[in-house]
Structure 1
Amino acid sequence: LTHLQASPRRLLDLNRGHWSIENGLHDVRDVSFGEDRSRLRAGSAPQIMAALRNLAITLIHRSGSSQILATAKWEGTIE
């Protein structure tokens, strides 16, 4: 939150930008790691697993690979 004023157009642009990033990351986690099929529902387990999936995605990107699913399968992290 800020004390600065924003036009409705600016707020819309910020909101769209946020959701495009959010949706892109979720899509990668779901397609590569089957996040939507996860049975984890209780406590902090869902947040911890999301953080670990994000870490795995970051490490794969930093290794120079853009093929997250193929790299994760090759490394044996998923079946």
Structure 2
Amino acid sequence: MNKHIPVITELGIIDGRDSIFLDSVEQRFSPNQLKFIGEINGELCENNHLGYEWYPYELKFNSVQAYDNGVFGE
């Protein structure tokens, strides 16, 4: 049986199916870079001490060798 262990962030545990939104994906070829841009729902964060409703985030990956932007279910 798999046990799901939550990732604890600066905002504590981010819980809920609508907690992390991906708004856009940027792909650059020079340099090989992939960036995910979105928002985290502050109401679903364990440690939302600042009281923000939304927290913006960017995840940047460098030297990307392969990336599949296919849609689930196709």
Q: Same fold (TM over 0.5)?
A: no
Q: More relative contact order in 1 or in 2 (CA 8 Å, sep 6+)?
A: 2
Q: TM-score, normalised by structure 2?
A: 0.26
| More strand by percentage | 2
**Greater C-alpha radius of gyration:** 1
